[in-house]
Amino acid sequence: MEIKVDSFKFLPRIIAAFYRMSDRQPEHPIPWTPLPRPLAECRFGLVTSGGLYHRGVEPPFDLERERREPTWGDPTYRTLPADIRQAEVGASHLHINTRDVLEDVDILLPIHRFQELAAGGRIGGLASRAYSFMGYQGYPADTSAWQEDYGPRVAAELDAEGVDCVLLTPA
């Protein structure tokens, strides 16, 4: 028997109430890129919206502006090298407790698990850089900058690295 995931299980009731009011319908057609070859030959890219950044190399997400304008969220992205050390991982996200991801980045951005998968031959390889967005895009959410600007830019960077497949992990 299949278990059905309860989308509202971990949501505070007030947010769940607002979400349930949504009458959004998917825009068709849903994009589709068939898997080009077996996974053992595919190069992977990792993208999270956990608000992660490379500490000391790139700035955190703009949480100061979000504090001033609570219905706005930073739409930019950060890059993290696949060989980043845990101590170099920063997290700026006001909607989750970042304690655990600062202990172990793999719970959101599984760079070490994917290196193991590549070493074991389950996948063809891992891109040298991973990408992080910060998931909160305001209320009501405005994802136009993601769709028109930052998303296509990340796609182009992944493509330039010869990536075929992407695992997306929201916060």
Partner 1 sequence: MPVLARTLEAAGLSTVLVTNMPFWAEKVGVPRTLALEFPFGHLLGQPYDAAQQMRVIGQALEVLETAHAPGAIVHSPETWPVPQKEAMKDWQPLVPSPVMEVLASRALEMMRQSRRRQKPGF
Say how far apart CA 126 and CA 25 lie, in whole Å. 34
Closest distance between partner 1 and the C-beta of residue 106, in Å?
5
Comparing CB distances to partner 1, the nearer of 88 and 116 is: 116
Nearer to partner 1, 37 or 57 (CB): 37
- Any contact of residue 166 with partner 1 (CB under 8 A)? yes
Asked whether 128 and 43 are in contact (CB, 8 A), the reply is: no
Site for partner 1 in 73-92 (CB under 8 A): none
Binding positions for partner 1, 92-131, rule CB under 8 A: 93-98, 100-101, 103-104, 106-108, 110, 112-114, 116-117, 122-123
CB 77 within 8 A of CB 132: yes
Q: Which listed residue (52, 80, 84, 158) binds partner 1 by CB under 8 A? A: 158
Contact 163, 45 (CB under 8 A): yes
Q: Which is nearer to partner 1, 32 or 85 (CB)?
A: 32
Least Cα distance to 108 among 72, 132, 84, 76 occurs for 132
